Amino acid sequence: MTDNSFAPSPSPSSSAAPQAEETDFGFRSVRKEEKKPLVRAVFDSVAGKYDVMNDLMSLGIHRIWKRIFVTELGPQPGLSLLDLAGGTGDISFGWLQGGGGPTIMTDINSSMLSVGRDRALSRGFVSDLSFAVVDAEAIPLKDMSVDRVSIAFGLRNCTDKMAVIREARRVLRPGGRFMCLEFSRVQVAALAPVYDAWSFKVLPTMGSMVAGDRESYQYLAESIRTFPDQETLAEMFREAGLSHVRYQSLSGGIAAIHSGWRL
């Protein structure tokens, strides 16, 4: 297990058309350059309690979603994985446990990556796993260099989501697959009011009690609501040049898995 050193490489997405000057940070509108430091502060705050809070937030269901996600990734010894926004390592570890090949676990937040590295050591992942602090909007890898790219519960925190999707496609080899697991739009009408109450009343309170941070969990709940719905995100995948795009809603649409291939 090593820290992976990335050599900077030109990113096509960095030359994209100019973006709007403001973006969302939960329900707030902030200047684009302010979002990454704000998101970094959120995850610096919650890193130590991230796994505990995920269990509380989802009543443990996130573990089932992640198992489905890793199975869909299709781990094989000859395939490599770039895990974006890898957080505390669940996807990378699942990939390796499933027989997947070399894995690069990345996150823009060094505090989260540090927790993931400690978890890797405690689980005995000492080979085929490297780490790097990486901004998913500008991945410092060569074109067509990995077989799979994953991002789980991280895309909604990115400032330029289209840049992330384009970058994922760029670094994929032909025949490679990009997959995203993210909170999505509830599709069961009866579930919506219960989910809203849980998100905006219960979660911030639990965040205050368990992690000592109400505001960060208020942001996390709000960020889910401002994220594109299933069809909108699928169209973004297509616009980025991915093929055979499809999605699978989970738990009534509370979460969804999107995937697309580079052909």
User: What's residue 8's pLDDT?
Assistant: 44
φ and ψ at residue 138, rounded to 5 degrees: -150, 80
DSSP codes joined into one string, 186-213: ---GGGHHHHHHIIIIIHHHHIIIIIS-
pLDDT in tens, 19-66: 458 887 777 888 888 888 888 777 777 777 778 777 877 888 999 999
pLDDT in tens, 180-235: 999 999 999 888 899 889 888 888 888 888 778 788 888 888 888 899 999 999 99
| pLDDT surpasses 70 at 16 | no
Q: What is the DSSP letter of 184?
A: -
Please tell me the distance from the alpha carbon of residue 253 to that of residue 122, in angstroms, as a whole number.
34
**Beta pairing partners, 177:** 148, 261
User: What's residue 228's pLDDT?
Assistant: 96
Q: Which residue has the higher pLDDT, 104 or 54?
A: 104
Asked whether the beta carbons of 182 and 227 are under 8 A apart, the reply is yes
Residue type at 261 in one-letter notation: W
| pLDDT surpasses 60 at 11 | no
pTM: 0.86
pLDDT in tens, 105-144: 999 999 899 999 999 999 999 889 999 999 999 999 999 9
Please tell me the distance from the alpha carbon of residue 164 to that of residue 137, in angstroms, as a whole number.
4
Please tell me the distance from the alpha carbon of residue 49 to that of residue 108, in angstroms, as a whole number.
18
Q: Which residue has the higher pLDDT, 57 or 72?
A: 72
**Beta pairing partners, 15:** none
Close Cβ partners of 41 (under 8 Å, ≥ 6 residues apart): none
Length of the chain: 263
User: What's residue 1's pLDDT?
Assistant: 56
